[in-house]
Amino acid sequence: MAPAETALQQAIERASRATADLDRRVFHLKTLHDTACELYGLNQPRKIMETFLLTAMGLFGVTRGLAVLMNARTREGHLAQRGLSVPEVAACERNLARIAAHFLPEDRLPLHAELVLPGEAVAPGLLPADTAIILKQKVDGSHALLSAIGPRRSGEPFGEADRTVLLNLAGTMANALAQNLFHRQIQHLSAGLTRQGNELQDSQRQAGRARATLDRQIFHLQTLYEFTAELSPLVATDKLLDAFLLTLMGIFGASRGCVLLCDRKRGTVRTADRGIPGPRELSLEEAEKILYRGFQATEERRLAPMSAGFILDPTSVFPESELGFAVHTAALFTVDDALLGLVALGPLLSQPELSAEARELLRGLTVNWMAFLKNAQAFETIQALNEDLHRINADLRRTIAELTEARHQIRILEVAKNRLKQLIQREVERAGRFRPADVVLMVALSAVLALAFNYSSPNGIPVVPEAVFQAQAPRVDVLTAHRMLSRSQAVLVDARPAELFQQKHIAEAVNIPAALFDVIFPMKLGPALKPEQVVLIYGRTLSKRYDDEVAQRLLQRHDQVMVLEGGLTAWEEKGFAVSP
Amino acid sequence: MKWPGRLKALITHPILGLLLRVYVGGVFIYASMYKINYPGEFAETIASYQLVPYWGVNLMALIMPWAELVSGILMVLGVRTKSAAAAIGGMLVMFSLAILITLLRGIPIGCGCFTSVEDPLGWGTFWRDLLWLGMTLQVYFFPSALQLEGRLIESLREVEA
């Protein structure tokens, strides 16, 4: 053969080899391209690994192989295999953590595909014994890939080109896995974002509802606060009724309404109404009938203390003629067993009927109002008790005063008793004795009686003789008198009583006793007495001035009347004659 | 019981005391009646004794009958018996002395013991007054029955008990 032909032949052979090599390379590239297209189209790591295994096994005529995708952080792995027996698969599944720890240490993961010959892998029992090639590669920041390729069916060893293709194929799989994992992560994040978005929307909706609820509750609380502030200073039940009704009508926009409060313990009925013509006065029996019908139509039928219940269809329960208006909303309330009542509102101005929230607000207002009502009742009870206490105190004070007065009286009586006792003792002692004071007392009593009797008696006499205060008649001495008698110029009169005259008298004297002057004077002296004659009078004792008495009487009838100075005694002393 | 004892028992007997009390008191009550009604006549009687000063005759004529009445009533009732007996005894002593002096002076007047018109004063009048004085002394010194004051005191003692 010619050299040229030889050279040509060699060139042709080289060209043929080059062509075959190129064809193989093209085949390999096409396979890689197809595999890459296929791998990038898959959406599950297990599918990607299985596709890789199938591609590698088909490409290199391998009978079996496995691939493990490990999560370096969680140490979780996914196994994909082809051609392994069931015990081998189970052993691999069981040894996933050891395989990962041995082949894929976290700190020494290769960034690119790394081929490890079985002889270099010191891991007996972890992988199938006939593993021809082991590939390990870092997929992303947290995942690593281990691929184990079994022997060729033909028994040929893997050449350099085969290992290169296998590495490229493994790299493509790793990229596909990385992309897939990234996509999965993106999808996971997207799903999370979507879920969070949904949750956020739900939260926003819940927040909106919560805000609405909160606003409503704030409104309710504000209303309750204002209602409470308005009721706080009120302690009288009637004022509470009025304030409660006005507040309800204002809040719910009712033009008419009434509140009825029935106190079974006290047997009283109190009402408050607005917008109803004429006052409403209900007896306890009428109120009880209304409440009974109301309880029959309530939602709960029975109310616990300090609770309120709405009446179903109040318009039919309470005819307009009964309460004076068409009842639109009505609720019964029970403070306790003895204190209960009814609140009724007429048609509302702003809405046809109360909403659920409004009903709850009405219930809350009623319950809140009942607390004030209970306090007012307690206050009234305390007030009544205080009044009773004041009354009892007044009675007590009066009793104490009476007791004090009685004690004072008892003390006075005791003193009086002691004094009376002393008086009795003194009188007992005096009774058997003579007391000069008693005699003085008797004389004093006699004097008083005597003077009083003498003052009123027709026979009364002056206490002191009148002559004491009368002017005395002229006096004449004995010698002059004797001379006048001897010349018959005078007449001598003895004024003493007849007994004394008869006992002794002046010889020439005529006896005219003072006591009998009016009788004896005319008989013995009257006619014979001449106007020029002087009448001389004598006669007096220690106890009686007879001469002055007669002289005073004679002076009323005669001008010349004189009293003899010294009387009978002086006459005798001068030695003139007396008789007998 | 010997005679002195009987006499003493008789003299001190409460019944005798009661009788003497009623008698002497009754005499004084009776004696006061006319004098109270006719004080002028009684004043003349007092003046006739010539023992009372001129200015005191009327006053004595007014008071003495009432003193006789008051003391006589108290003696009859048995109230302040000793004091009443003392007053009556004093008046009887006074009357007796006045009678004695008048008798001794020989003044011819009536007694004026009960009324103004009576028999002339004599020794019988004097002894009668002494007898009444003795009765009054019995009442003064010895207890007598049915004394109103005694019963009243007994009642007061019951009240006190």
State the alpha helices, DSSP H only, in B38-80.
39-49, 57-77
Q: With bands split at pLDDT 50, 70 and 90, how would you rate the model's confidence at A112? A: low
| pLDDT digits 0-9 by tens, A269-326 | 988 888 887 666 788 888 888 888 888 888 777 788 888 888 888 888 888 878 888 8
Distance between CA atoms of residues B84 and B94, nearest Å: 15
> Which residues make Cβ contacts (< 8 Å) with residue A491, sequence separation at least 6?
A510, A525, A529, A533, A534, A535, A536
Distance between CA atoms of residues A346 and A329, nearest Å: 7
> CA nearest B62 in A: which residue?
A450
Distance between CA atoms of residues A64 and A522, nearest Å: 210
Inside any domain, residue B4: no
- Pick the closest to residue A93 from A81, A83, A82 (CA basis): A81
Tell me the pairing of strands A534-538 and A561-564. parallel
Q: B76-108: string of b/e by CB count within 10 Å (b at 16+)?
A: bbbbbbbbbbbbbbebbeebbebbeebeeeebe
Inside any domain, residue B135: yes
Q: With bands split at pLDDT 50, 70 and 90, how would you rate the model's confidence at B112? A: confident
Inside any domain, residue B1: no
Inside any domain, residue B6: no
ipTM: 0.92
Inside any domain, residue B9: no
Residue range(s) defining the domain that contains residue B136: 15-160
Percent of chain A's residues with pLDDT above 90: 17
Q: Give B-chain residues touching A516 at CB under 8 angstroms.
A: none
| pLDDT digits 0-9 by tens, A504-513 | 999 889 999 9
Q: With bands split at pLDDT 50, 70 and 90, how would you rate the model's confidence at A222? A: confident
> CA nearest A447 in B: which residue?
B63
Q: Do A500 and B36 touch (CB under 8 A)?
A: no
Q: Cβ of A233: how many Cβ atoms within 10 Å? A: 8
- The CA-CA-CA angle for residues B31, B34, B36, to 5°, reads 95
* B93 and chain A in contact, CB less than 8 A: no
- Pick the closest to residue A65 from A146, A160, A140 (CA basis): A146
Distance between CA atoms of residues B65 and A467, nearest Å: 24
Enumerate domains of chain A plus CATH numbers: 20-188 (3.30.450.40), 233-384 (3.30.450.40), 467-579 (3.40.250.10)
The DSSP secondary-structure symbol of A104 reads -
Identity of the highest mean pLDDT range in A507-511, B71-75, B105-109: B71-75
Q: Do B80 and A544 touch (CB under 8 A)?
A: no
Chain centroid to CA A104: 78
Chain centroid to CA A107: 76
Q: Give A-chain residues touching B111 at CB under 8 angstroms.
A: none
Distance between CA atoms of residues A577 and A563, nearest Å: 18
Inside any domain, residue B126: yes
Inside any domain, residue B2: no
| pLDDT digits 0-9 by tens, B11-47 | 889 999 999 999 999 999 999 999 999 999 899 899 9
Q: Do A543 and B52 touch (CB under 8 A)?
A: yes
From residue A566, alpha-carbon distances to A480, A545, A560 in Å are 13, 12, 19
Q: Give A370 or A118, the one with higher predicted confidence.
A: A370
Q: Do B160 and A424 touch (CB under 8 A)?
A: yes
The CA distance from A495 to the nearest CA of chain B, in Å, is: 13
Residue A121: is its pLDDT beyond 60? no
Q: Do A433 and B108 touch (CB under 8 A)?
A: no
Q: Do B55 and A464 touch (CB under 8 A)?
A: yes
Strand order through the sheet with A510-511: A475-476, A561-564, A534-538, A490-494, A510-511
DSSP A527-552: TT--TTSEEEEE---SS--HHHHHHH
Q: Cβ of B11: how many Cβ atoms within 10 Å? A: 13
| Burial tier of A495 (Cβ tally within 10 Å: 0-12, 13-18, 19+) | buried
Q: Do B86 and A460 touch (CB under 8 A)?
A: no
Residue B130: is its pLDDT beyond 70? yes
| CA dihedral angle for residue A410, residue A412, residue A416, residue A422, rounded to 10 degrees | 100
Contact A308, A290 (CB under 8 A): no
* A545 and chain B in contact, CB less than 8 A: yes
* A236 and chain B in contact, CB less than 8 A: no
Q: Give B-chain residues touching A495 at CB under 8 angstroms.
A: none
Phi–psi pair at A341, nearest 5 degrees: -170, -170
Q: What pLDDT is recorded for position A451?
A: 94
Q: What pLDDT is recorded for position B32?
A: 94
Tokens of A491: 């007449």
> Which residues make Cβ contacts (< 8 Å) with residue A61, sequence separation at least 6?
A152, A153, A154
Inside any domain, residue B102: yes
Q: Give A-chain residues touching B150 at CB under 8 angstroms.
A: 431
- B36-61: average pLDDT: 92
Q: What pLDDT is recorded for position A144?
A: 84
Please state the domain count of chain B: 1
Tell me the pairing of strands A490-494 and A534-538. parallel
Q: What pLDDT is recorded for position A77?
A: 83
The DSSP secondary-structure symbol of A227 reads H
* A464 and chain B in contact, CB less than 8 A: yes
Task: Please state, rounded to an integer, the average pLDDT across all residues of chain A.
Answer: 85
Nearest CB to A442 within list B57, B70, B82: B70
From residue A320, alpha-carbon distances to A242, A254, A256, A309, A345 in Å are 21, 15, 12, 21, 12
Residue for token digits 């691929």?
A147
* Total residue length of chain B: 161
Tokens of A174: 């790793």
